[in-house]
Amino acid sequence: MNMQTSLQDRMNDRKLIKIGRNDACWCKSGKKYKQCHMAMDEKIQRIQDEGHLVPDRSIIKTPDQIAGIRQSAKINIAVLDYVAEHIKEGITTQQIDQWVYDLTTKMGGIPAPLGYHGFPKSVCTSVNDQVCHGIPDENVVLKEGDIINVDCSTILNGYFSDSSRMFCIGEVSPEKKKLVEVAKECCDIGLKEVKPWGFLGDMGQAVHDHAYANGYTVVREIGGHGVGIEFHEDPWVGYNSKRGEEMLMVPGMMFTIEPMINMGNVEIFVDEANGWTAYTEDHMPSAQWEYMVLVTEDGAEVISY
């Protein structure tokens, strides 16, 4: 609640920033304001005046920023492709971490998780009942029947990209396989709801409804986030929301769709020993995919997956 109130206060600051019609646009496109973002800014202002939460200009990516973020995403996708090709039974999660570090740095990038608020590794590897932020370990050996989320994030020239995928190790149970498939469907269904002048709640409710229709729950405490200039930016992206609520989506916004879908109940806890890894309270499996998306003029584009 405090985060959202603070964010709304900051959104109100956009009213104080005035740009002349013939001045250069704030997005640094080189165009006059009236030929670039003026009409969009006026529409955002009208929607804010109706009482909705709207993005400020710092959330809207410029063309140059988008170009830089795309280059970062190329590394992120390539690293996850490499993991997909090599992950198998008998691999340790520490080996996955080494793959990510070696390939990311070889391509000129930096693993964003490494050292982030003290996180000790280059990637998150969350196995079975680990919801997220699993820490790679040489003693965690993947075995047949496991499901694992590999969450990869990259910095290149100061630009951030972020996405994750689920992997099934050997033959998994039908129950786990369905969970992984439905978690992917939740992202795909949510993606269809990302369009300019809709609200994040439109996407959130679509994700929520599909998960619950399949008998699953959606983690409440941890969600998606803005990304690109920083690792984690505004807005917060939840998946237990309602249509017509949460922040307005406008062209140039970039954020992650990454609902964490639990086979059992919704409750989670964080490992007190490492301060990072979240588990399902009932130790039932959890699954998560993550897309990094850009809101475009007529829909959405997946930047990293």
Residue 107 burial by Cβ neighbours in a 10 Å radius (0-12, 13-18, 19+): middle
Nearest-10 crossing angle of helices 93-106, 63-86: 140
pLDDT in the model for residue 6? 44
Residue 17 has a pLDDT of: 64
pLDDT of residue 172: 98
Q: For residue 232, which of 295, 291, 160 has the smallest C-alpha distance?
A: 160
State CA 245 to chain mean position distance: 19
| Structural contact between residues 192 and 117, judged by C-beta atoms closer than 8 angstroms | no
| Domains in the chain: ranges and CATH | 58-304 (3.90.230.10)
Confidence (pLDDT) at 2: 32
Q: Angle at the Cα of 295 (from 224 to 116), degrees rounded to 5?
A: 35
The CA distance from 234 to 226, in Å, is 5
- Enter the pTM of the model: 0.92
pLDDT of residue 19: 87
pLDDT of residue 4: 39
* Residues constituting the chain: 305
User: Which residues in the chain come in under a pLDDT of 50?
Assistant: 1-16
Closest CA to 225 of 61, 81, 59, 113: 59
The partner residues of 255 in beta bridges, in order of sequence, read: 226, 293
Q: Tell me the pLDDT tens digit for each residue of 16-45.
A: 468 899 999 999 888 999 889 999 999 999
